[in-house]
Structure 1
Amino acid sequence: MKTNRSLLVIQSVQGKIHSPRAGKNPYRINRNGMPQILPATGGITYNVQIGDTCMGWVGDHVEPGVSIQSENDAENIALNLLACIGNEARVITGDAKGAKGFVTGKHGGIDHVLIYFKKSDLEKMAINDTILIKAQGQGLEIVSHEDIKCMNIDPELFEKLGITVDNEGILEIPIVTEVPAYLMGSGIGSPTAFSGDYDIMTGDSEANKEFGIDKLRFGDIVLLRDCDNTFGREYLKGAVSVGVVVHSDCIKSGHGPGVTVIMSSKTTKIKGVKDSNANIANYLSVQD
């Protein structure tokens, strides 16, 4: 399968480790109307990383590893647009200077870029440490499959996904599970899928079991049925999107594990092949 990888620009973007925040009213209201105080987005999350379950944590929208953001709004938009899953990230200030990791996802709304580092490196990091990303991936195209829009993924990681093409020209990609469009919630209607994520709703426990959502892990690759992400995010019968699980389950109505999309087609040109090992932690050899 041939791509335009050799033509893609590699460009620096950077941000600082972003502290968790809380308002004067610190409560988060769960889907049953009950207020809770919980860990949520931002900071350095020491005991949650890709490959771990994204379900059951005592938290809300928990982001694995390190969460970064730029203090400049325009620069943060560029950071969130250009950083792609699998891009190399390097710490350039603080006690962990020189440590390398990689981007694991992008979280819309809070507009964080999420990054994996080894646990030993996390212990040396602090809020406001600066991290530089070698951004590459936006504009990736598959030759002779221009109707499939690729986004948000490093081309080297893309080549590790085990994608094949069948005799009818349909792309077959390993996935952990398929999710129907009626379970996609927060983030629907966003004007672009080249930044951020949108959530699998988890309020129905039977649906969680039926589609294997209760077993999802950070970094799992999932197929979204009848979901069009080629421009914005919407329902379209026959469309197929593929994405990576980037943040944890949530307590709020209409929310759940977040998915950053990496491929989308308005037609059934993408087919999922069930594989429990379809997780970026495996493709990028995460060991701790």
Structure 2
Amino acid sequence: MLKTNKDKVVKWSVQGKIHHPVGGNYRISNDGKPMILPATGGISYNVAIGDSVFNWAGDHVEPGVSIRNENNSENAALMTFACIGNEAKIVSGDAKGKKGYVTGMHGGIDHVLIHFEKDILEDLAIDDKIMIKAYGQGLNLPDFENVHVMNIDPDLFEKLGIKEENSKLKVNVVAKVPPYLMGSGIGSKSAATDGDYDIMTGDMEEIKRLGLDKLKFGDIVLLQDCDNTYGVGFLKGSISIGVVVHSDCVKSGHGPGVTVIMTSKESVIEGVIDENANIGNYMKMN
């Protein structure tokens, strides 16, 4: 098992409430069609971790439950310190006391996304409060100072089965994404605070050629030549690992969103293709 500083990572509290969907205006598709579609926020009753991110009659659809705070500073803390795999506990409403886990952060709308079992979703309501045991920011690998880890619960990180071979880290991923497909979110100031960025799907023939049309919510992917160390951008030879957090989108320059969990400016991370590399499968190991 990789050596980490897990025992020194602070576990504390952040909280948000289920955010009512906003908007309702036309969205213009990448082929010029105006469309009215369900999008972000609220409770998605029939969209969950493990489902395909494609072919939904929606745009930027968020699986499960979407939470945020109206106070911008508080929401910034929620977005920054909630990490994928963190325990989420409902603290108000009819489902009070029930638990789920964080599945990602969605920038722009600035939502934290949470998975709950279907029977729990039925007892939830808009504005119900959810507490998260925020645990993960500050995690590092003492033997790999050139690798930055972010946005992932240390307990989930250990379950990824990452192996060290020949001074490199072997990470199971469902797919490898070339840098020319990364779109909305490029240029963000920090992958640890700004949520995610998108795999562009305007060219579906290329998406199919690369096997990316099979992506699911929660899949772990490798981003080639993508440096997320101190911002979000291109760097030849750099590697990032991320989790697919929201659905495909109709708008140009957008597509399934990826929240980064590891990055390095050097080619010390290698992806091993595994169709089962999905956080839903790792979380079931609890």
The question of a shared fold, defined as TM-score above 0.5 by the shorter chain, is answered with yes
- Aligned counterparts of 1:111 and 1:206: Cα–Cα separation in 2: 31
- Aligned counterparts of 1:75 and 1:138: Cα–Cα separation in 2: 16
TM-score, normalisation: structure 1: 0.97
- Show the counterpart of 1:2: 3
- Aligned counterparts of 2:209 and 2:32: Cα–Cα separation in 1: 26
Question: How far apart are 1:210 and its partner, in Å?
Answer: 1.8
Question: Aligned letter for 2:181?
Answer: L
Is residue 2:199 matched to residue 1:193?
Answer: no
| Deviation by residue 1:147-202 (Cα, 9 ceiling, x = unmatched) | 10000000000000010000x21000000000000000000000000030000000
- Aligned counterparts of 1:111 and 1:146: Cα–Cα separation in 2: 30
TM-score, normalisation: structure 2: 0.98
- Aligned counterparts of 2:84 and 2:13: Cα–Cα separation in 1: 14
Question: Aligned letter for 2:182?
Answer: M
- Aligned counterparts of 1:59 and 1:68: Cα–Cα separation in 2: 19
Is residue 2:58 matched to residue 1:28?
Answer: no
Percent identity over the alignment is 64
- Show the counterpart of 2:167: 169
Question: How far apart are 1:286 and its partner, in Å?
Answer: 8.6
- Show the counterpart of 1:18: 19
Is residue 2:144 matched to residue 1:145?
Answer: yes
Which residues of 2 match residues 126-275 of structure 1 at below 5 A? 126-166=125-165, 168-195=166-193, 196-275=195-274
Distance 1:75 1:67, change over 3 A: same
Unaligned runs of 5+ in 1: none
- Aligned counterparts of 1:110 and 1:55: Cα–Cα separation in 2: 20
| 1:50 alignment partner, SS class | coil
Answer with 199-208 or 214-223: which moved more: 199-208
Question: Aligned letter for 2:102?
Answer: V
- Aligned counterparts of 2:210 and 2:277: Cα–Cα separation in 1: 16
| 2:205 alignment partner, SS class | helix
- Aligned counterparts of 1:273 and 1:237: Cα–Cα separation in 2: 20
- Aligned counterparts of 2:23 and 2:188: Cα–Cα separation in 1: 25
Question: How far apart are 1:33 and its partner, in Å?
Answer: 1.2
Question: Aligned letter for 1:171?
Answer: L
- Show the counterpart of 1:77: 76
The root-mean-square deviation of aligned C-alpha atoms, in Å, is 1.0
Question: Aligned letter for 1:21?
Answer: V
- Show the counterpart of 1:114: 113
Following TM superposition, the consecutive aligned residue runs of length 4 or more in structure 1 with deviations greater than 2 angstroms are none
Question: Aligned letter for 1:115?
Answer: I
| 1:252 alignment partner, SS class | coil
- Show the counterpart of 1:86: 85
Question: How far apart are 1:211 and its partner, in Å?
Answer: 1.6
Unaligned runs of 5+ in 2: none
| Deviation by residue 1:215-251 (Cα, 9 ceiling, x = unmatched) | 0000000000000001100000000000000000000
